[in-house]
Amino acid sequence: MSHRRGVGNGGGKLIRVPQDEMPDDLEAAVPSAEIDLAEESVSASSSMDEEFVVERESAKMRHWKESPYAVGLVEPTWHDERQRRNMRPTAIGCISCPEEIEPTCGCLYLSGIVCTKLGAGRVGNMAVLKETSVGDRTKIQLVVGPYWPMLLCVTYPLIFGVSAWTAVEAIPHQNIIVVFIWATLTFGLIYSLFNVGFRDPGILQRHSEAPADGWRWNDQAQTFRPRGAIYDSDCAVIIEEFDHTCPWTGTGIGKKNMLAFQAFVALVFICLIFDIMLLTNTL
C-alpha cells in the first residue's frame, strides 16, 4: 500500500493507493518536463564546476611560469591552497589530504589558514613574511619553510623550557662568570635557530637561459640550475647547495643558512651539556 497526495477535491489529504494500482515505471508518473528541468540543472552545475577547475589550473600554470623564483607547480597564494584543501575529500589521518598523503600535507593546510590571515606571500611551499625590492628584483628577508609549525610548537618551546628551568633552578646559585657564559650560549642557540628557520636558505632565481657552462635544466621548476642546486620537493623550490630538509628548523638547509645550521647543531649539544651540569651541580 502506498500514499498519494490528493489534488482537486482531495485538497492536501493523503489518499491510500493500492500497490497493484501503482505504475510499474515510477518515472512514468513524473512529468517529463520536470525530469528535463532537473537534468538541465545538473548539467549546468557540472559545466560551471568544470569551468571553475579549468580557470584555477590555468591561473596556477600562469603563476608558475611567470614566477621570478625557481619554484614547483603549487597554488599561487595561501588562500588558494586553503580553498583547494577544503574542496578535497578528507583522507583518514590527515586533514584535507589526497589518498596518497603528502609529508607536508597537514602543515600546508595550516599554512593556508594562518598565512592567509597574516597576508604572507608564497614561494613554493615557503611562506614569505618580509621582502624588499632591489632594482628590478625582490629580496626575501624573512621566510619560513613548510614545517614552521614544528619549529614554533616543538623546537623553540623545548629550548625555552629547558633554559627557563635552568634559569630558575640553577643560575641564581652561580657566580657572575658562569651566568654570563650560560646566557651567551643560550642567546647564541636561540639566535642561530632564528637565522636557520626564518632566513632564505638559498632559493634560486629563475633562469630561462643558462648564464654559464655547467648549468642544467630542471623540469620541476622550469629553469636552469647550477651544479649543487637541487629541487626540494618539501619546500617546492630549488635551493643552492641544498643539503637536506630539517623538520626541527622547519625549512630546507642550503647555501645561505648552512653556517647558521652548523652553529645551531653545535650549540644544542653545548647548551644541553652545560644545562645538565648546572642542574646537577657538577660544574
Q: What is the mean pLDDT of the chain?
A: 82
Average pLDDT over residues 255-281: 96
Which range, of 62-66, 118-122, 201-205, 258-262, averages the lowest pLDDT? 62-66
Number of CB atoms found within 10 A of residue 199's CB: 17
Render pLDDT for 211-234 as a digit per residue (tens, 0 to 9): 988 899 999 999 999 999 999 999
Average pLDDT over residues 259-264: 98
Render pLDDT for 27-80 as a digit per residue (tens, 0 to 9): 455 556 555 555 555 555 566 667 756 777 787 888 888 889 999 999 889 988
**CB-based contact 115:122 (threshold 8 Å):** yes
Q: Which residue would you say has higher pLDDT here, 195 or 97?
A: 195
pLDDT computed for residue 93 by the predictor = 40
Average pLDDT over residues 199-209: 94
Please give the radius of gyration of the chain, using alpha carbons only, rounded to the nearest integer: 30
Percent of the chain with pLDDT over 90: 57
**CB-based contact 205:273 (threshold 8 Å):** no
CA–CA distance, 257 with 275 (Å, rounded to integer) = 26
Average pLDDT over residues 272-276: 96
pLDDT computed for residue 96 by the predictor = 44
What one-letter code names the amino acid at 145?
Answer: G
pLDDT band at residue 100 using 50, 70 and 90 as cut-offs = very low
pLDDT band at residue 10 using 50, 70 and 90 as cut-offs = very low
CA–CA distance, 126 with 236 (Å, rounded to integer) = 8
Render pLDDT for 169-188 as a digit per residue (tens, 0 to 9): 999 989 999 999 999 999 99
Distance, C-alpha 32 to centroid of its chain: 49
**DSSP secondary structure of the chain:** -EEEE--GGGTT-EEEE-GGGS-SSGGGGS-HHHHHHHHHHHHHHHHHHHHHHHHHHHHHHHHHHH-SB-B-S--SSHHHHHHHHHHSPPBTTBTT--SS--TTHHHHHHHHHHHHHHT-EEETTEEEEEEEEETTEEEEEEEE-TTHHHIIIIIHHHHHHHHHHHHHHTGGGS-HHHHHHHHHHHHHHHHHHHHHHSS---BPBP-SS-SSTT-EEETTTTEEE-TT-EEETTTTEEETT--EEETTTTEEE-TTTHHHHHHHHHHHHHHHHHHHHHHTT--
pLDDT computed for residue 207 by the predictor = 93
**CB-based contact 237:221 (threshold 8 Å):** yes
Does the pLDDT at position 94 exceed 50? Answer: no
CA–CA distance, 24 with 232 (Å, rounded to integer) = 63
**The three three-digit cell numbers of residue 129, written as one number:** 613574511
pLDDT band at residue 16 using 50, 70 and 90 as cut-offs = low
CA–CA distance, 187 with 224 (Å, rounded to integer) = 40
- HSE at residue 73, side-chain half, CA atoms within 13 A, is 11
Does the pLDDT at position 92 exceed 80? Answer: no
Average pLDDT over residues 141-154: 96
Model confidence, pTM: 0.76
pLDDT computed for residue 62 by the predictor = 86
